[in-house]
Structures are given as structure tokens and as C-alpha cells.
Homo-oligomer: A and B are copies of this chain.
Amino acid sequence: MARTYDVTTIGSAIVDIIATVDEDFLLAHRIPRGVMTLIDEQRAHKLHQALPEKREIAGGSAANTMAGLASLGARGAFAGKVRADRLGEAFHASMTELGVHYATPMAKGGPATGSCLIAVTPDGQRSMSTYLGANREFSVSDLNEREVAAAEILYIEGYLWDAPLAKEASIRAMSAARKAGTRIAFTMSDPFLVDRYRGEFLDMIRNGTLDIVFANEEEAKSLFKVDTFDDVFQAMHGWHGMAALTRSEKGCVIAQREEVHVIDAAPVLRVVDTTGAGDQFAAGFLYGVTHKLPLADSGRLGSLAAAEVISHYGARPEVSLKKLAQSAGLL
């Protein structure tokens, strides 16, 4: 069948609340460094008030990836739950402005729209405190299987495994994708999340559910419980699908069956905020895969998109990734 979308994604619908802080702030508020921690509404409220000079930007890992894909000119659909509150309206508007199809009904009541308090330390590292809120309400009834079947790739963020109803809907979406011949891509999202759902994630890799896996080095080490990158690589080398193993400044390794590519990180003048690096890598890579680029160039496009987003605050591109990729000779 004709595919209406390059990528359909199910992801957390979240507004980022970004603030620059010093190391003492992390200590004082007991925020674990460099990872994502789930918090409840009460703590979200407290942290929100403590954060200095914050900015609100529509975020959410897979939603950021859709923004990157849109910036590259891809056609996308997003599914994720917000409440019809101020942040929910803002999130919805941001997706629509990007030209991303977004038709999940807003909740009239229940938990508030999810938010992620991102504390950025001077080294560009981001420590995230996530209040899932309305995302926990995304369920099978919100799923539009036609949007899945109409996509070349279904992209699912691992974060959803922390929201049981959304996880159930994701599994349903993967079944729909399989039936429709839609390839399934999955991001491991976070090393601690991987620790919570290791067995399930490994099963999805080994039983052929997934066609494309994104994992950064820490997530992949957590997944396979190994200490070195080479051990991670050995565990994925020869896998039938595409494995995109990202390594921050060390670049990435892309592997599919016996094909292997060792790609350098794209140059960045100054790393300002690493938020969204993985999300934008996925955007570039998925654009490449859906537009029949060679595997190595898909990796390079991912690296280029990641380099753009870490050179400024915020997890979505600030310039046209399409033009950037054209300048780099990748498109």
C-alpha cells in the first residue's frame, strides 16, 4: 500500500522546562546527574518553583524526533496524550506548527500535561525530572492503527514502558505494524529504564519484534550488563536489524547483519546542552532509512542532526536540518 507517513510515532507528550543550574542545585534537590528520573506532581511543582529563569519548550523524546524529521522534510504522525490545559495546548500547537499529524484526543480531566524539568549544568549535561501526568492515560483506545499501517516506520520510545497503559498501546501498535509491513524502530531511552525492563527489551531484540534499535552506550551497556563498548557491539553484531549505537563525542557504530560502520561525531564548536542529542540522531537516521540512503550516510545524518541540537539549548533543531544536510553533501 502507499505510505502516507515516513514515520509514525507513539511517544510521551511533554513540555520541557529548561533551566541552567550549578552542580550545587543538583545536590540540594537530590537530582540524579545526567539521567531521567520520574517524579510525582508534588515534586514537579516544588522543583518547578525552585528552578531559576526557566523556559518552556515542547519536548518529549519521540516528539523531538518528529520535529527533527519534519525539519528534514519527512512526513510524520505523532500519538501521545496531553490534557486540555495550558501546557497541553502549547504542546499540541508545537506539533501542528511542525506539520506533524497529531490527532490524539486531549483529556478533558485527569492528570495535568506531562512536563520534564531539565537542569542543565555548565558542562552541557542535562539531568531530567519527568512528571508523566497525562501520558499515563494514553491507552489502546487512543491508538489509531491506520496511522501505524500508513507509515513506513513505527517509532516507539522506551520511556513509554513506565506508563503501563501506553506500553500496552505500544505493543498493540507493534502488532499492527507487523501486519502492515511497517518496520518497527525502538529507542532504549535511558539506562535506568533499561534496567527496569531489560528482559522485555532483550526479548524484543531477539524474537524479531524490532527492526531498528537505537541505544546510546550507557543504555546498551545496561541492556547487556557489560562494561565495554566492544562487548555491546559483539552482542549486537550480526543482528538481523539495524543497530544504531551512539557514543556521544566518540560518534556511533551502525550495524546490520555483517555490515558495520564506524561513524565519527559531527564537529560541534561548543557543546551547550546535550538534551535531545539521541532524539535528533534518531531523526537523522530514520530520515536516511526512509529515504533509501546508504546505512553509513544515515548514521552521518544522525550525527549531523545531533551536533546541531547540542550546540544550543533545547531538544529540537533551531535551523533547517534539510539545509544543513544539503550543505554537508548528505542530501
Chain A interface (Cβ < 8 Å from any Cβ of B):
228-230, 233-234, 237, 250-251, 253, 258, 260-264, 296
Of the candidates B228, B237, B250, B296, which one forms a contact with A230 in the assembled complex, judged by CB atoms under 8 Å apart? B296
A237 touches B260 (CB 8 A): yes
A193 to B118, CA, bound (A): 51
A233 touches B250 (CB 8 A): no
- How many copies of the shown chain assemble into the complex? 2
A183 to B314, CA, bound (A): 54
Q: Which residues of B contact A234 (CB under 8 A)?
A: 261, 296
B260 touches A228 (CB 8 A): no
A272 to B295, CA, bound (A): 38
Q: Which residues of B contact A263 (CB under 8 A)?
A: 228, 230
Best-buried of A251, A260, A263 by chain B (most CB within 10 Å): A260
Of the candidates B229, B250, B260, B296, which one forms a contact with A260 in the assembled complex, judged by CB atoms under 8 Å apart? B260
Of the candidates B228, B250, B296, which one forms a contact with A250 in the assembled complex, judged by CB atoms under 8 Å apart? B250
Q: Which residues of B contact A250 (CB under 8 A)?
A: 250-251, 264
22 residue pairs A–B, Cβ–Cβ below 8 Å: A228-B263, A228-B264, A229-B262, A229-B264, A230-B261, A230-B262, A230-B263, A230-B264, A230-B296, A233-B260, A233-B261, A233-B262, A234-B261, A234-B296, A237-B260, A250-B250, A250-B251, A250-B264, A253-B262, A258-B258, A260-B260, A262-B262
A234 to B261, CA, bound (A): 8
A250 to B234, CA, bound (A): 18
Least Cβ distance of A55 to chain B in Å? 35
A258 to B228, CA, bound (A): 20
A228 to B250, CA, bound (A): 14
Output the nearest chain B residue to A253 by Cβ-Cβ distance.
B262
A262 to B237, CA, bound (A): 11
The 9 closest A-B pairs by CB, nearest first: A230-B261, A233-B262, A258-B258, A230-B262, A260-B260, A230-B296, A230-B263, A229-B262, A253-B262
Q: Which residues of B contact A229 (CB under 8 A)?
A: 262, 264
Least Cβ distance of A236 to chain B in Å? 11
Least Cβ distance of A272 to chain B in Å? 23
A250 to B261, CA, bound (A): 15
Output the nearest chain B residue to A233 by Cβ-Cβ distance.
B262
Q: Which residues of B contact A253 (CB under 8 A)?
A: 262
A229 to B233, CA, bound (A): 18
Least Cβ distance of A285 to chain B in Å? 14
A249 to B228, CA, bound (A): 16
Q: Which residues of B contact A264 (CB under 8 A)?
A: 228-230, 250
Output the nearest chain B residue to A228 by Cβ-Cβ distance.
B264
Q: Which residues of B contact A261 (CB under 8 A)?
A: 230, 233-234
A228 to B229, CA, bound (A): 21
A228 to B328, CA, bound (A): 14
Output the nearest chain B residue to A237 by Cβ-Cβ distance.
B260
